[in-house]
A and B are shown apart, each in its own frame.
Chain A
Amino acid sequence: MDMFSNLALGFGVALTLKNIALCFAGCLVGTLIGVLPGVGPIATISILLPITFGLDPTGALIMLAGIYYGAQYGGSTTAILVNIPGEATSVVTTLDGHQMAKQGRAGVALGTAAIGSFFAGCVATVFIAALGAPLTKMALLFGPAEYFSLMVMGLCFAVVLARGSILKAFCMIMLGLLFSTVGTDLETGQERLTFGIASLSDGIDFSVLAMGVFGFAEVLRNLESPEARDVVKNKIGRLLPGWDDIKQSAAPVLRGTFIGGILGILPGNGAVLGPFASYTVEKKIAKDPSRFGKGAIEGVAGPESANNAGAQTAFIPLLTLGIPPNAVMALMVGAMTIHGIIPGPQVMTRNPELFWGMVASMWIGNLMLLIINLPLVGMWVKLLQVPYRLMFPAILIFCCIGIYSVNNQPLDVAFTALFGLFGYLLIKLGFEPAPMLLGFVLGKLMEEKLRQALIISRGSFMTFVERPISAGLLVVAVVVLAIALLPSISKKRDEVFTE
């Protein structure tokens, strides 16, 4: 079958000694940074982006994917051991994971999370391999109008699925879109909103924005309050779950993988819903729901599997359509562009070894996480005890060296500091900056597709409604927004995110 020959090609690329080493290094440093409290996957990838600069594109992407999984897994470790979720998706893990840790079963919680994630990762890899080719073929049917409508739909989903106030999420998306218009105009070459600053004529640099808003601003946010870290003092205990634990968690892992995998494909950060949905499902069908919140192993196994499955299937829209479904994937777009790869359907046809090599390395990365993380848990615990007063200067120097290395421009460091201040301001005003990054990355693409579509239709906006696929996508977008704004639903939404 096609899929198997493709996967064979991928494993041929990914299993070279160099790429295995890169995947390993990515997973290791990804976990290393991701495990730091308060540093989620977005910050981790921003911070570690520069270490991939010297590599060839395939190697760099394999390493980035490794960093991503490492960061995800590191986030779960922090959630279980310290009760600090690095990002929205590991909030659920803190509920039962930290309780298990308090009962001296931290090892089992970590082990279950790792094994569940590994299983989910295996399934998701096959899923990507199976869906990749047909979706890419479908993508070729997409004209500029369909792309534009798809992105509008993605942004609507992102508004609806964002944490906190819908209005504020909307603000952030629009601000991201506004930022994306800075720079030279595509058609006329006129400078827009550049204030005569030469380095703005190519637009706001992606890594400057990301590192400022997610690297620096996070540091400022964390410096605000004296830290209260609740590192588990109990023994970690044995890592491998016992037979009873396996029996209890097998079904949740299966369900979690399914839920997370499906939701992950949704544009607009569907992946974030996975763990929440899985937790709710497990609690609903459990014989004794009162055990949840008090260290139920299903409450770790299900959401963690859903988390990892979603994290991985989120690659599908990015790799096949070239449209990032969430902020992490937007970061991947930025990283790919730095390496000269424009994500989209053409990647698979033009650089098959890159595409399939990355898919194969996803599986290898998951395996590595299982192998390196379980023995290294002791080291992560040590790392969690490093005081923040030493942690943040280290984060800052990583960011600064990284920013400088993107263009070898010292001025970029100053710009990043400025965006750090801006990001901190946003945090203080209660805005969640992740949707802004998504809006920023999609903005450029959207403007391009909008103008192309209008040129093809000779300036008629009707083209977005007349073409059936495009019209369908827009209808979905409107329906999703309308439903989210209905009071009864928005109340439910609040409940899901506060639970």
Chain B
Amino acid sequence: MSLNQIEQAQGLRVRSTQDLAGGLFMILLAVGAFVFSWDLPAGTLRQLGPGMLPKAFAVICGALGLMLALASLRYHGEQLSGWSWKGIFFALGGALLFGLTIRGFEVNGFLARVIAAGLMGAAATIILSYLSPLNNPLSLKLGHRNAATSIFALLFLIALILYPVTTISVPALGLLVSGPLLIFFSGLAADDRKPKELLIFAVAMSLGCILLFKYALSLPIPLAPWLLGI
């Protein structure tokens, strides 16, 4: 946000998409917080209720967001830049996988069906694309990606309709499996990934973590309940 007199005279237009988006984001959060704390009694200034501070902070956040959004119309600043979708998918997905498998989980009902279909569709797409001349869908080249997406969508729908699963339960896999799973999956996010190297690293690093956290620091983290019982 720097002040520039000449630019200032040229009327209002979006000069910093980043600031504008930031302002709108703050307003959105503020409105959300305000709505969800609506039912909490604010009390009076003499006798603060539980809702007073959340509402007050929400109002201030909203006001600051508004100022930021308005400032983006007058002052120059940064522009929005691209996202690392691959990072979000693989790195955060890896963490989710770790959280889901470390102590196991169970999903029931329609959600289970969706997840099962999704997994089957994804597995089949990957296998198919390795067999086909399309090559590896993980390379995410645009043409290939579109083809892979449509294959996946088709398989997903077929599996969703034909495969009547009611419960998915994954046993507690423990650090012995969840660790390499996390490292390998998240490692795919790097542009210069090398699957073989990553695989070796995943195993070695997990063993190192097991020695460090489980034995040296004796944290109560499951190791491999399905195999070793601990």
Contacts and interface: CB of A to CB of B under 8 A. Distances in A.
Interface string A446-465: 01001100100011110000
B13 interface: no
A138 interface: no
- Greatest chain B CB density within 10 A among A170, A417, A421 is at A417
A171 B64 contact: yes
A61 interface: no
Main secondary structure of the interface of A (DSSP, over half): helix
B86 A223 contact: yes
A167 B64 contact: yes
A197 to B, nearest CB: 12
Given A219-B87, A220-B88, A425-B25, A387 B192 contact: yes
B152 interface: no
B45 A461 contact: yes
A390 B187 contact: yes
A178 to B, nearest CB: 4
Contact of A390 (B33, B61, B77, B201): B201
A421 B89 CA distance: 10
A50 B201 CA distance: 22
A352 interface: no
B190 A54 contact: no
A394 interface: yes
Interface in B42-79: 44-51, 53-54, 57-58, 60-61, 64-65, 67-68, 71, 77-78
Nearest to B61: A174
B30 to A, nearest CB: 8
Given A192-B50, A392-B190, A487-B3, A417 B92 contact: yes
Interface stretch (B14-22, B114-122, B134-142): B14-22
A69 to B, nearest CB: 21
Q: What is the size category of the interface that chain A forms with chain B?
A: 35 or more
Contact of B91 (A165, A192, A219, A451): A219
Contacts of A387: 192
Interface stretch (A81-89, A183-191, A292-300): A183-191
B95 A224 contact: no
Nearest to A431: B22
A396 B50 CA distance: 37
A193 B33 CA distance: 7
A188 B43 CA distance: 12
- Greatest chain B CB density within 10 A among A220, A387, A401 is at A401
A178 B36 CA distance: 12
B183 A404 contact: no
A425 B48 CA distance: 33
B160 interface: no
Given A224-B87, A390-B187, A430-B18, A414 B99 contact: yes
B190 A223 contact: yes
A388 B192 CA distance: 9
A491 to B, nearest CB: 8
Given A413-B99, A429-B21, A430-B18, A405 B54 contact: no
B162 interface: no
B48 A388 contact: no
Contacts of B64: 167, 170-171, 174
Contacts of A178: 29-30, 33, 54, 57-58, 61
B80 interface: yes
Contacts of A390: 187, 197-198, 201
Contacts of A388: 190
A449 to B, nearest CB: 12
A100 interface: no
A167 B71 contact: yes
A380 to B, nearest CB: 19
Contacts of B58: 178
Contacts of A401: 175, 179, 209, 213, 219, 221
Interface residues of B, number: 82
A216 B50 CA distance: 32
Main secondary structure of the interface of B (DSSP, over half): helix
A396 B1 contact: no
A284 interface: no
Given A177-B57, A393-B201, A400 B99 contact: yes
Contacts of B103: 410
A397 B83 contact: no
A405 B221 contact: yes
B190 A421 contact: no
Contacts of A168: 1, 22, 68
Nearest to A390: B201
Interface string B169-203: 00000010001001110110111111001100110
A170 to B, nearest CB: 6
A397 B182 contact: yes
A494 interface: yes
A174 B55 CA distance: 12
A168 B209 CA distance: 39
B218 interface: yes
A154 B92 CA distance: 34
A398 B95 CA distance: 11
A408 B86 CA distance: 29
Interface in A376-404: 387-390, 392-394, 396-401, 404
B226 interface: no
Contacts of B190: 223, 388-389, 392
A190 B36 CA distance: 13
B28 to A, nearest CB: 11
Contacts of B61: 171, 174-175, 178
Contacts of B186: 392-393, 396
Nearest to B71: A167
A245 to B, nearest CB: 39
Given A420-B95, A430-B19, A192 B40 contact: yes
A175 B182 CA distance: 31
B132 interface: no
A451 B98 CA distance: 41
28 contacts: A50-B213, A174-B64, A175-B29, A177-B53, A178-B29, A178-B57, A188-B49, A190-B40, A192-B51, A192-B54, A195-B36, A220-B87, A390-B198, A393-B198, A394-B183, A396-B95, A410-B105, A413-B95, A413-B102, A417-B92, A417-B96, A420-B95, A425-B25, A429-B18, A430-B18, A430-B77, A451-B48, A461-B45
- What 9 A-B pairs are tightest by C-beta distance, nearest first? A459-B46, A413-B99, A389-B190, A185-B50, A223-B87, A429-B22, A224-B84, A393-B183, A178-B57
Given A195-B36, A393-B198, 9 more contacts: A171-B68, A181-B53, A190-B50, A224-B84, A393-B202, A397-B183, A405-B220, A410-B99, A454-B48
